[in-house]
Amino acid sequence: MADAGRRVMVVGGCGAGKSTFSKKLARLTGLPLTHLDRLGWRENWEKTPREEFDALLARIYAGEEWIIDGNWSRTISERLKRADTVYWFRFSGVRCLYGVVERFFRTRGKNRDDMADGCVEKLDLEKLRFFHTTLWGAKRTNRRIEACLKDAPGMRVVVFRTRRQADRYLRELAEEKQSEWEGTDGGMG
């Protein structure tokens, strides 16, 4: 496994577990984490103006170390120009829908930490549309990501088809980091 990357993109379908994975990866690596949904939304689900969002994102990916969690498809190609590693949650629509519904019931009435302040989870017509789009849009999302990756030859891409695979990857990375730490005088001196 060796290296988790220094400029990392985490992409894939809604509800796949990208944000959870990204938080754990950030803790393991010490890399700064940005959730695109925190940049792209303002209080009460108001969208951040495109120019402002693009400027904020450009400042982040201009850095030497980062994890950027989220798709925001129109920005994938630009981020790929700076990324060294992509973690791709390539899940089916059914699996993504399950994750979105599960997350909704776990966080309803609350503000998720990967969202902008004031974006409280609630069940309304927009949320129902989102569930529908998640189910039927996963194939389209995967095709978009795949097309973008074809334009990034040599990119290190780690594909997860299940959450179990992602969890195993993080566990192995943690064990590797622990071994590195024990290999130095870490804790012995």
Domain of residue 153 covers: 7-173
- Residue 50: both structure tokens together: 């495109």
Nearest in space to 70 (alpha carbons), one of 141, 121, 119, 161: 141
Residue 69: per-residue pLDDT: 97
Let me know if residue 76 belongs to a domain.
yes
Contact indicator for 140, 129 with CB cutoff of 8 Å: no
Backbone dihedral region for residue 83 (phi beyond 0: left; psi -120 to 50: alpha; all else: beta): beta
Let me know if residue 77 belongs to a domain.
yes
- Which phi and psi (to 5°) does residue 12 adopt? 145, -175
Residue 65: per-residue pLDDT: 97
Let me know if residue 97 belongs to a domain.
yes
Provide the total of helices (H) and of strands (E) in the chain, helices listed first: 7, 7
Let me know if residue 110 belongs to a domain.
yes
Question: For 103-156, what is each residue's pLDDT tens digit?
Answer: 888 988 888 888 888 888 888 888 788 888 887 888 889 999 999 999 888 899
Beta strands in 70-138 (DSSP E): 85-89
| The total number of structural domains that make up the chain | 1
Let me know if residue 143 belongs to a domain.
yes
Q: Say if strands 41-42 and 46-47 run parallel, antiparallel, or are unpaired.
A: antiparallel
Question: For 29-79, what is each residue's pLDDT tens digit?
Answer: 999 999 999 999 999 889 999 999 999 999 999 999 999 999 888 999 999
Residue 113: per-residue pLDDT: 86
Backbone dihedral region for residue 12 (phi beyond 0: left; psi -120 to 50: alpha; all else: beta): left
Question: Higher pLDDT residue, 129 or 102?
Answer: 102
The CATH number of whichever domain residue 50 belongs to comes to 3.40.50.300
| pLDDT range class, residue 183, cuts 50, 70, 90 | low
Let me know if residue 189 belongs to a domain.
no
